[in-house]
Amino acid sequence: MLQHLLPLGTRDEFGRRARRKQQLISVIQAHFKRRGLAPIATPLLENEAVFDPYQMGNYQLYRLLGTDGQTLVLRPDLTLPIARFISATKVPLPRKFSYVGDIFRVSRQLSGSYNQITQAGVELIGYGSLKAELECLTIANQLSAELIEDAVEIELGDARFAQRVVASLTDNASTQQAILRALFDKRVPKYQALIAPYRDQPLYDFLKGWPRLFGRPTDVLAQLTAAPLPATVQPSIDRLKRVVAWMKTTMPKQAVSLDLSSQAPQKYYTGLTFRGYSQAGAGYLFSGGRYDQLLANFQAEAEPAVGMGINVDLLTTLAADQPEAQPRELIYCEPDQWQQAEAYLAQQPNASISLAPDLAAARMEAQRAGARLVDLTGGGVNA
Amino acid sequence: MPEERIKIALTKGRVEQQVVPLLEAAGIDCQQLRNKQRRLIFDSDTQPYQFILAKGPDVTTFLERGAADIGIVGSDILTEHQSSQYELMDLGVGVCQFVLASTADFDPQAPRRKIIGTKYPRITQRYFDQLGRDVEIIKIEGSVELAPLTGLADAIVDITETGTTLRENHLKIYDYLQPVSTRLVVNRLALKQHQRLIYQFVDQLAEVVSKSSKELAK
């Protein structure tokens, strides 16, 4: 019976969900095209070494053996293959890329998670100015407004803020890592024990409240202003303030928050990071940030870059809950009426041509599908 | 009835019995939990909380999938199931200890590959990895003490509170692993989505936990 069974963590997509997902992808691709992003598609299979900088978290990779014995993987990420492509082809930079594709991450068995995830995204490579972050945020703002009704909150962070604060406390690398791990996982009792040796330092009050350093920009920035933070984090704070002010002016309806107590979405991020979520979603709808060192994994020279991935599956889940705009219609016609049927179809996006051999079969098909039958053979429009 | 609600998955059984008094002392409405009959899901009539009663491993699954915002569960289960959610508080109840135990004739230093029975294969593997010893692990679902008594395993890794069950089964403790206690865990995204409600719940409970640990220390 194995021929009927799917491997764990996979699924077929069919009917309303599949249609909705295709519509979302079309809208996303049209949006990317409108903004002048160059489409790029990379293979599902890559050499495992491509993903050395990738932080897998609780996931595993799908591994296969190549014909000459090297380890291949089903890609768990789409940014690193693009970095690999740029390094290998020496495509002139700067350049804006966009992609839509599937990634594969093996999650805990029987946990209800899917291992194949559809992701769309942009990679703006060779751009060192803050304008690259602003373009990503604009895309995130416009797409989320266009695709789902639920309000999306954009959360800003900084990939290096926490490391720089902890480096000002101690030179001991393992202590730094232990504090960061406890902070990022919000293991509060452990974190409190780890910061206890610094209770006589001026920064201690800030350290105590650090696990809660997220929320409305005014509240978070007020805490930052009050804390005797090291000078090394001031550029990060200034950048966050600029972006918050810019968003307030450029997209006044967009909900924005700051989070300076969480780990960056990936360890290759080097600057501003951003993520988006809605109240209804069980995960982040998109995440991204600046990664100026990523190409240095593939070539001698680094390139400044900003990227963002969009979780198309989660978008589909949220969007699929919305009711269909119109009832489906089924058009019944004879072969010589095909052009007439096409003309009707062009005006009715929720219609489809019935391929039933006769009117009786078409009626049954329409009944089964809960659709209205449009009969072009002489009877006019039948309900 | 409050509009915004947080969903709290509570491990049923001993954890539930130990935690409900703490929740009540913190002013959390547990009326429905007290009169639960056979129900497993309860909405407070007066407060923005929904309680879900589940087995410990399922609490971690609810949390990982976002089906619950807060989980109350033992640290043994969190470690074994590799929870990646925020562990905000040690509730100071359900305190016990992982141990390596076996019959009196067990020799931990004997030069051979030992068979270890346990409900916690990951924790056991990690312990023996740290010791640099290769062992064969047999997963056992309940009454782990039977494994060395029946010859199924050379020793067991299990949790014990007072050691009474081990002693009654003529088993001896050979090593102590990590301590265990009941933790309050929060789904990473839920903390952003319901920041105010979750911290309100956590802070109320933290006050009670801190007070009771001070009383115990006297």
Partner-chain residue, chosen from A111, A277, A283, that has the shortest CB–CB distance to B61: A111
* Three-state DSSP class for residue A94: coil
Query: What is the per-residue pLDDT across A122-146, written as a single tens digit (0 to 9) for each?
Result: 999 999 999 999 999 999 999 999 8
CB-based contact B88 A277, cutoff 8 Å: no
CB-based contact B199 A155, cutoff 8 Å: no
Residue B192: list chain A partners with CB under 8 A: 153, 155, 214, 257, 259, 277
Q: Cα–Cα distance between A19 and A25 in angstroms, integer?
A: 10
Q: DSSP labels for A236-254?
A: HHHHHHHHHHHHHHHSTT-
Q: Cα–Cα distance between B51 and A19 in angstroms, integer?
A: 36
pLDDT the model gives residue A268: 84
The fold of the B96-178 domain, in CATH, is D-Maltodextrin-Binding Protein; domain 2 (3.40.190)
Question: In A, what residues contact B, Cβ < 8 A?
Answer: 57-58, 108, 111-113, 153, 155, 185-189, 212, 214-215, 257, 259, 277, 279, 281-284
Q: Which residue of A has its CA nearest to B189?
A: A283
Topology agreement, domain B6-94+181-217 and domain B96-178: yes
Closest CA–CA distance from residue A190 to any residue of chain B (Å) = 10
Beta strands in chain A (DSSP E): 38-39, 45-47, 63-65, 71-74, 95-104, 116-125, 152-158, 214-215, 255-259, 272-278, 286-290, 305-311, 329-332, 351-353, 372-375
Residue A57: list chain B partners with CB under 8 A: 84
Residue A219: list chain B partners with CB under 8 A: none
Residue A279: list chain B partners with CB under 8 A: 193
B98 contacts B173 by C-beta, under 8 angstroms: no
CB-based contact B66 A214, cutoff 8 Å: no
Return the closest-CA partner of residue B11 out of B46, B62, B48, B83.
Answer: B62
Residue B199: list chain A partners with CB under 8 A: 212
Q: Cα–Cα distance between A141 and A136 in angstroms, integer?
A: 9
The pair of structure tokens assigned to A38 is 């160059």
Residue B71: list chain A partners with CB under 8 A: none
Partner-chain residue, chosen from B82, B87, B90, that has the shortest CB–CB distance to A186: B87
Closest CA–CA distance from residue A189 to any residue of chain B (Å) = 7
pLDDT the model gives residue A383: 41
Torsion of CA B85, B87, B93, B96, to 10 degrees: 80
Judged on CB neighbours under 10 Å (0-12, 13-18, 19+), B49 is: buried
Partner-chain residue, chosen from B61, B87, B195, that has the shortest CB–CB distance to A215: B195
Partner-chain residue, chosen from A186, A212, A282, that has the shortest CB–CB distance to B65: A282
Buried/exposed code over A270-280 (b: 16+ C-beta within 10 A; e: otherwise): bbbbbbbbbee
Residue A186: list chain B partners with CB under 8 A: 86-88, 186, 191
Residues 6+ apart with CB under 8 A from B46: B29
Q: Which residue of B has its CA nearest to A152?
A: B193
Among B64, B82, B93, B187, most A C-beta atoms within 10 A, so best to mutate, is B64
CB-based contact B65 A113, cutoff 8 Å: yes
Query: What is the per-residue pLDDT across A348-358, written as a single tens digit (0 to 9) for each?
Result: 878 889 999 99
The CATH homologous superfamily for domain B6-94+181-217 is: Periplasmic binding protein-like II (3.40.190.10)
What are the average pLDDT values for consecutive 10-residue runs of chain B, which has 218 residues? 85 95 94 86 92 96 94 96 92 95 94 94 95 94 93 96 92 96 96 95 95 72
Q: Which residue of A has its CA nearest to B186?
A: A186
Within 13 Å, how many C-alpha atoms sit on residue B157's CB side? 28
Phi, then psi, of B96 in degrees rounded to 5: -155, -165
CB-based contact A284 B189, cutoff 8 Å: yes
Domains located in chain A, CATH noted: 1-149+264-323 (3.30.930.10), 160-262 (no CATH), 329-375 (no CATH)
Domain ranges of chain B: 6-94+181-217, 96-178
CB-based contact B86 A185, cutoff 8 Å: yes
Residues 6+ apart with CB under 8 A from B57: B77, B80, B81
Q: Cα–Cα distance between B182 and B92 in angstroms, integer?
A: 7
- Beta strand A63-65 with A45-47 is unpaired
pTM for the model stands at 0.86
Q: How far is CA A58 from CA A106, A109, A177, B83, B209, in A?
A: 9, 11, 18, 9, 31
Q: Which residue of B has its CA nearest to A211?
A: B88
CB-based contact B192 A259, cutoff 8 Å: yes
pLDDT the model gives residue B130: 94
Residues (pLDDT < 50) of chain A are 326, 380-383
CB-based contact A282 B88, cutoff 8 Å: no
pLDDT the model gives residue B209: 93
Task: List the beta bridge partners of residue A275.
Answer: A155, A287
CB-based contact A279 B193, cutoff 8 Å: yes
pLDDT the model gives residue A382: 47
Closest CA–CA distance from residue A282 to any residue of chain B (Å) = 5
Among B5, B58, B78, B189, most A C-beta atoms within 10 A, so best to mutate, is B189
Phi, then psi, of A231 in degrees rounded to 5: -60, -25
CB-based contact B192 A277, cutoff 8 Å: yes
